[in-house]
């Protein structure tokens, strides 16, 4: 975090410390974790070669890149009317709720599910006193754009219209990776299509905000398979936006980095320096601030894409920081 927490999460200096980007800043635990991830997945099949569903099933069973997801005994499913039939939402409520944390899972718009982050959402729900609601949106390549964003927009409108049913008037949105992208799109869609700005906070964790690929996404390369490579980003983007070229993928309706960001809620951007999407968060945070919004940037030396799925000290610190941000932003 670039700033003094005692002064508040938004009283941050606008100067980044270059030391956080050096190898010397990387904790030994993080170096070992990264080496283990590379060794684990270096020979794993690519989803576009074996089929997305096979990799989805492996993730659900804990035999893929990430540890097996632990399901919450507190979680409940409901269904609402969606753009293409029923849309499932997964709820995890705290003892006393003051509103909702609308969560959108990651997975490159291709992988992942709403029930694979229960432990994370329990911690956010209990720490911020919000009912966590995760969206089971449609995935590419079976359902390319605009299916996923349409589902998230529908869920957001339903939550905003029924917010008082969840114990208060506080509403935050957030997600990881593609979920951070969909969270940003949802904020913009509600503002631009419906004239509504119901969100009090946006928790955007290692998001992709330039679907035309930021400089770090292009430069990361494919030598080390540290969760997310340049090739993976290309394949995910082509599945989500089939047939579009780089320029078309950078339309403001698709890539929020290029959108009008004025009049938005406070944003919290989390990123690791060994993440191919590093520049997405650096650039999006800068544009968020430049548009007149409050925001903060939380950088983890050496952390890879998706690092909060792995047990380590940086994961603990990051989740605590996310909860602290939500509590301050919501008041």
pLDDT of residue 9: 52
Question: In 3-state terms, what secondary structure has residue 268?
Answer: strand
Confidence of residue 7 (pLDDT cuts 50, 70, 90): very low
DSSP strands (E only) in the chain:
76-82, 85-92, 99-104, 131-135, 170-176, 201-205, 267-274, 295-304
Task: HSE, CB side, 13 Å, CA atoms: give it for residue 212.
Answer: 14
Active site residue 305: yes
How large is the average pLDDT for residues 283-289?
A: 97
pLDDT at 16: 84
Q: Which two tokens stand for residue 194?
A: 């419906």
Lay out the sheet containing 131-135: strands in order across. Answer: 76-82, 85-92, 131-135, 99-104, 170-176, 201-205, 267-274, 295-304
Residues in CB range of 226: below 8 A, 6 or more apart: 34, 37, 38, 274, 304, 305
194 falls in which pLDDT band (50, 70, 90)? Answer: very high
pLDDT in tens, 77-106: 999 999 999 999 999 999 999 999 999 999
- Catalytic residue selected from 275, 279, 280, 298: 275
Quick: pLDDT tens for 167-187. Answer: 999 999 999 999 999 999 999
Q: Are 48 and 40 in contact (CB under 8 A)?
A: no
pLDDT at residue 228 tops 50: yes
> Whole-angstrom Cα distance, residue 153 to residue 259?
17
pLDDT at 2: 40
CATH of the domain at 265: 3.40.50.1820
- The sign one gets for the Cα dihedral 309, 40, 239, 52 is negative
Domain tally, the chain: 1
Residue of 97, 134, 177, 214 marked active site: 177
* Domain assignment of residue 164, given as a range: 5-330
pTM exceeds 0.85, yes or no:
yes
Of the pLDDT bands very low, low, confident and very high (cuts 50, 70, 90), residue 11 is very low
């Amino acid at each position: 975090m670039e700033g003094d927490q005692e002064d508040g999460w938004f009283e941050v200096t606008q100067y980044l410390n270059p030391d956080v980007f050096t190898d010397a800043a990387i904790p030994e635990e993080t170096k070992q974790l990264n080496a283990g991830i590379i060794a684990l997945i270096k020979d794993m099949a690519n989803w576009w070669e074996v089929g997305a569903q096979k990799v989805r099933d492996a993730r659900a069973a804990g035999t893929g890149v990430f540890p097996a997801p632990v399901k919450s005994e507190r979680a409940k499913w409901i269904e609402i009317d969606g753009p293409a039939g029923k849309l499932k939402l997964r709820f995890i409520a705290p003892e006393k709720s003051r509103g909702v944390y609308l969560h959108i899972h990651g997975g490159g718009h291709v992988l992942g599910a709403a029930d694979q982050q229960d432990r994370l959402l329990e911690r956010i729900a209990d720490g911020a006193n919000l009912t966590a609601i995760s969206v089971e949106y449609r995935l590419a390549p079976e359902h390319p754009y605009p299916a996923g964003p349409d589902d998230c927009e529908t869920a957001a409108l339903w939550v905003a219209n029924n917010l008082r049913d969840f114990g208060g008037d506080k509403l935050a949105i957030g997600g990881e990776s593609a979920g951070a992208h969909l969270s940003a799109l949802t904020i913009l869609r509600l503002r631009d299509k419906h004239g509504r700005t119901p969100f009090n906070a946006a928790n955007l964790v290692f998001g992709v905000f330039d679907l035309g690929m930021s400089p770090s996404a292009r430069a990361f390369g494919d030598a080390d398979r540290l969760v997310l490579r340049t090739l993976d980003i290309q394949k995910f983007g082509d599945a989500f936006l089939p047939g579009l070229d780089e320029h078309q993928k950078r339309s403001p309706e698709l890539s929020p980095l290029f959108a009008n960001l004025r009049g938005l809620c406070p944003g919290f951007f989390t990123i690791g320096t060994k993440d191919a999407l590093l520049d997405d968060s650096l650039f999006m945070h800068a544009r968020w601030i430049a548009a007149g919004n409050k925001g903060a940037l939380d950088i983890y030396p050496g952390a890879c894409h998706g690092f909060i799925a792995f047990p380590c000290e940086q994961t603990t610190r990051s989740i605590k920081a996310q909860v602290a941000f939500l509590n301050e932003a919501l008041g």
